[in-house]
Structures are given as structure tokens and as C-alpha cells.
Amino acid sequence: MKDITTIKFADLSTADLIVDAIYESGMRGNAGDDPLVKLLSVSNQGGFRYVGNFAANKLKAVVLYSSMDDVDWPDFLDEETGIFYYYGDNKKPGRELHDTPRKGNLLLKKIFDDAHSPSGDRKGVPPIFIFAKAGTRRDVIFKGLAVPGGAVPSHGREGK
């Protein structure tokens, strides 16, 4: 059985990112307990959180957080291929795909547009850190670094 690295809340501001490590939340029972704020200086809510200015196209880093437990929106990390399948954050019927309160789908569209630009210039593509719910309070697990724009191999989930 694999040992699980756990990083205490008090140590988050100086912690390294370790794949599959658990980053503990605080114990006060409020939004200030969110470990991603202390770990990466992002906001404390939403599936997409970022450092920098989205409107000015100056993102330094993006965090994509998923509970990974929504049966209608089954985000999935294929650990064999390393591909993360994300279903977006627009869950209300009748709304345009990119029309979400925190603009997560619009952010994702911009990142993929930059990744696939004709010039091949990926300078506008920030690093994307994937985190998942760990199951206790607001604890999170670091799943890895996403590189948008790669070819998607068949992984057997789409049926024949």
C-alpha cells in the first residue's frame, strides 16, 4: 500500500506540490479554511481559481478544483494515460456554454484557443494545477499539472 503524504494547514505557505498528497484545511469551519488560498494564493471558491488578471490576459496560474464525485458531471483522471476529462461548470439548462457566474468555461476556452493558436505560441497558456476533494472538511489532493491541447487517446470509456 502506498504511503500518503499529508501537508498540515500551518505548513501550506511553504509546501511543495506533491502528486497525490493531501493538503489539509483549517479547522475554523469557514471559507478561510480553504487550503488552496494558502498554498497557491488563489480565491477560496469555485472550480476555477487563478492568479493574475483574466480580463487582461495575464494569468500566472490556474487551479482547477473538482469534487470528482458528481455522477452527472463525471470529471475523471485516467491515471494510466494522465489525461484529465473535465465536463465544465455550466450545469444549468438553457444557458450558453460559456455563460457561467465565475467564467470558468470561458477561461477554459481561452486557454485552449491559446494552446491551439496558428502561431503555435503557448505564452498565453498558464500552468493549470488539478486538485480534487479529499473527503475531509475542505482538504484537497493534488492530482497533477494539466497541459491543455494534447491529443486524446482512446481510453475505453466512450464505448464502441
Q: How far is CA 40 from CA 48, 58, 88, in A?
A: 13, 16, 22
pLDDT bucket at 17, cuts 50 / 70 / 90: very high
Q: Are strands 58-66 and 48-53 parallel, antiparallel or unpaired?
A: antiparallel
Say if residue 54's pLDDT is above 80.
Answer: no
Say if residue 157's pLDDT is above 60.
Answer: no
Q: How far is CA 60 from CA 32, 36, 111, 129, in A?
A: 22, 15, 12, 11
The secondary structure of 56-119, three-state, reads CCEEEEEEEEECCCCCCCCCEEECCCCEEECCCCCCCCCCCCCCCCCCHHHHHHHHHHHHCCCC
pTM above 0.75, yes or no: yes
Burial grade of 129 (CB within 10 A; 0-12, 13-18, 19 or more): buried
With beta carbons less than 8 A apart as the criterion, state whether 140 and 15 touch: no
Q: What is the pLDDT of residue 1?
A: 56
pLDDT bucket at 96, cuts 50 / 70 / 90: confident
* 140: β partners: 23, 133
Please report the sign of the dihedral spanned by the C-alpha atoms of residue 103, residue 51, residue 71, residue 112: positive
